[in-house]
């Protein structure tokens, strides 16, 4: 089971490390210093998560770089396929990306030991800066209502790419499949459960679009 | 005096915020995950500094974005003029940039109130990740000794550009000149003191090249 947990922590850690770098770089594209500080704050939060996750990997006797290595290609592919165009798209990617991650973490954490589940919960609930980002998105849409449609499409693309990469990861790594859908003793049931997990993820995404003022 | 201190904290905060974004983005260019983690760690440290500095600006009754605004052009110009080419140059820029900042902070802090001096000292001594970066530079030079000359020239250019931007900032902002060289009642003495400050900065840079294995 420890191997499965290290796998889980590895993908989460690499996701956070990458989000940290991307959001910190995004901050430089902010139209004003107040927005820049908000984005930098969110980026710094990703580093805190990364730090917690890698500390736990070390506790479990593994090296963070080894735990992360299998996920580099998939996570990088997600970012390469979702390059934001302009500041509002950066804001939406920051918000939606963070929230989709949180959803995945929660699904994955259902089947792990309680210490790891508590760590994952600590990470996903530490999202202090996210409300500010949501507020910036709502303000941008209020100032220019034509943005709503474009940003809703962008958010859908982000979710689609994230689900696609996640499915690829689960196909490649049996350990994560076990954590995501429970045991694999009933292969016939497996795809079914996976579909239900993805269904929950997309439902929550629809709720979030409403929060951002992007729902139709 | 408070206005002078807010000026000082503003330039330090903007320098840290920018270094944070640049180093976090640099981390993505690391040749391996271990180096990437070292660079991300250094970047996260810059954010901690930024957070401390802006908290003090707020305590003093100013808005961080207003305190930073006068320095955006100069600090950005430094980075635009010193774009690293390849991973070893990124490492050297990270190390030398951090150390030059620390030197400036210490010089500036000599003439401020003790609470601000203590804060500045806390910021400049929090450089946990810097030793790892120095070690990575030494390893790169050991692996390819021809790098030493190129990196020493690069380091000299970084110092030159930093001093040039710093001089411009001091010319534009009397408040910082007061903090850097003491009172301005003796204008004849002013340039003299400034030269001594710059002399100390370049002396320390020579010592550092030795630490990095880049001295001739």
Residues of A in contact with B50 (CB under 8 A): 40
pLDDT of B50: 96
DSSP SS3 for A146: coil
The residue with greater pLDDT, B28 or B203, is B28
Interface test with B, best of A44, A51, A69, A94 (most B CBs within 10 A): A44
Check pLDDT > 70 for residue B102.
yes
Cα dihedral B90, B91, B92, B94 in deg (nearest 10): 80
Searching chain A, which residue's CA lies closest to the CA of residue B33?
A: A65
Nearest to B74, CA basis, from B3, B153, B171? B171
Exposed, middle or buried, A80 (CB in 10 Å: 0-12/13-18/19+)?
exposed
Report how far residue A81's alpha carbon sits from residue A78's, in angstroms, rounded to the nearest whole number: 5
Q: Say which CATH class B2-211 falls into.
A: mainly alpha
Among A34, A50, A54, the residue with its CB nearest the CB of B65 is A34
Residues of B in contact with A44 (CB under 8 A): 20, 44, 47-48, 51
**A–B: how many Cβ contacts below 8 A?**
71
Tell me the nearest-neighbour CA distance from A27 into chain B, angstroms. Answer: 7
pLDDT-based confidence at B170, cuts 50/70/90? confident
> Digits of tens for pLDDT over chain A (216 positions)?
677 889 889 999 999 999 999 999 999 999 999 999 999 999 999 999 999 999 999 999 999 999 999 999 999 999 999 999 999 999 999 999 988 888 888 877 777 888 888 898 888 888 778 899 999 999 999 999 999 999 999 998 998 898 888 878 877 777 677 666 665 554 445 566 667 777 887 888 888 888 888 876
Confidence (pTM): 0.87
Token reading at A15: 């996701």
Residues 6+ apart with CB under 8 A from B103: B200, B201, B204
């Amino acid at each position: 089971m420890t191997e499965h947990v290290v796998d889980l922590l590895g993908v989460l850690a690499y996701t956070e490390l990458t989000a940290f770098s991307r959001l910190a770089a995004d901050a430089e594209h902010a139209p004003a210093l107040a927005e820049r500080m908000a984005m930098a704050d969110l980026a710094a939060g990703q580093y805190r998560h990364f730090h917690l996750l890698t500390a736990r990997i070390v506790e479990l006797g593994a090296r963070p770089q080894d735990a992360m290595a299998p996920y580099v290609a998939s996570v990088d592919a997600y970012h390469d396929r979702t390059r934001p165009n302009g500041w509002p798209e950066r804001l939406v990617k920051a918000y939606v990306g963070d929230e989709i991650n949180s959803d995945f973490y929660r699904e994955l954490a259902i089947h792990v030991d309680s210490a790891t589940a508590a760590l994952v919960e600590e990470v996903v609930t530490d999202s202090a800066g996210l409300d500010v980002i949501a507020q910036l998105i709502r303000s941008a849409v209020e100032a220019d209502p034509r943005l709503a449609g474009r940003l809703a499409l962008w958010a859908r693309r982000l979710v689609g790419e994230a689900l696609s990469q996640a499915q690829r990861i689960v196909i490649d790594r049996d350990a994560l499949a076990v954590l995501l859908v429970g045991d694999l003793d009933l292969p016939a049931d497996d795809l079914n459960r996976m579909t239900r997990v993805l269904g929950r993820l997309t439902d929550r995404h629809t709720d979030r679009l409403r929060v951002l003022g992007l729902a139709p």
